[in-house]
Structure 1
Amino acid sequence: MTSRSNDDLIEAAVAVLNPHLVGDRIFGDVASALITDAGNVYVGVCIDTTSGTGFCAEHAAIAAMVTAREHKIAKIVAVWRDDNKAKVHVVPPCGRCREFIHQIDPANLDTEVILGRDRTSKLRELLPATDWPAPLD
């Protein structure tokens, strides 16, 4: 049952947005939701730290998925609410997240990445150079 709509996954991510300010750092201001090839939904939020040990919302959602012994992502989204807490924005995965999704399972190159209500892209299109390079002659 991987046929959840983009809006369904966007709303699942929005539901866990819960920004928390500690000093000048905000935790939980970006959230992610994914659906696996088995039809299960996992969510997570970002943790931003001054020491660089934090992680993106996609990492948290993927960690929950892997904890549940799943590895193949059918569809994924990340969202952020603007500073006025009025509008939600879909945000594309950063380069680190793109590579992370791929390394969890090579089949995830076919993951549908939600880029807007009616806009998606396969991970392979966002991360085109995925093969290890061939040696020079």
Structure 2
Amino acid sequence: MTTVSDDELIASAEAVLHPHPVGGRLFGNVASTLVTETGRLHSGVCIDTGSGTGFCAEHAAIAAMVTAREYRIARIVAVWRDEEGTLRVVPPCGRCREFIRQIDPGNLDTEVVLGPRHSRRLRELLPYQEWPSAHG
């Protein structure tokens, strides 16, 4: 696997961060990049819709990864610019955390970048991720 630093992963996500209005909605105001266990980078942006059928930037990056027939995420990051233009690393929402887990069971060990030189394994962000047994 190719080693990608936090700064490189954040910069890769920032490179696709281009918010733009579409029909009164804002698309692409959050961007995500992930690196697979084979070292390939995949990026995506969020698509917000009024009906709630849109998806997060992490979903878009994961869809690109799955399109390339990969499923194991080594590291993932998402970024957003605040009102002052400062780039912020943002944690994945609960839906994204569960989506990462369901793509491949090994993704519980995915390193989620929460800031430069600050990350946690997905299993730490999903502290109770065991499915209940058939016996209760």
Asked whether the two chains share a fold, i.e. TM above 0.5, the reply is yes
Counterpart Cα distance in 2 of 1:82 and 1:21 = 16
In the other structure, the counterpart of 1:36 is 36
Between 75-84 and 105-114, the greater mean CA deviation after superposition: 75-84
Q: 1:51-90 maps to which residues of 2 (within 5 A)?
A: 51-84=51-84, 86-90=85-89
Counterpart Cα distance in 2 of 1:133 and 1:111 = 22
Aligned partner of 1:87: which letter? Answer: T
Q: 1:1-137 maps to which residues of 2 (within 5 A)?
A: 1-84=1-84, 86-134=85-133, 135-136=135-136
**Aligned-pair Cα RMSD in Å:** 1.0
Counterpart Cα distance in 2 of 1:10 and 1:53 = 26
Deviation at 1:114, TM superposition (A): 0.1
Deviation at 1:23, TM superposition (A): 4.8
Gaps of 5+ in 1: none
Aligned partner of 1:51: which letter? Answer: S
Between 91-100 and 127-136, the greater mean CA deviation after superposition: 127-136
TM-score w.r.t. structure 1 length?
Answer: 0.95
Q: How many residues are paired up?
A: 135
**1:96-135 deviation per Cα after TM superposition (whole angstroms, max 9, x unaligned):** 0000000000000000000000100000000121111133
Deviation at 1:82, TM superposition (A): 1.1
Between 15-24 and 34-43, the greater mean CA deviation after superposition: 15-24
Gaps of 5+ in 2: none
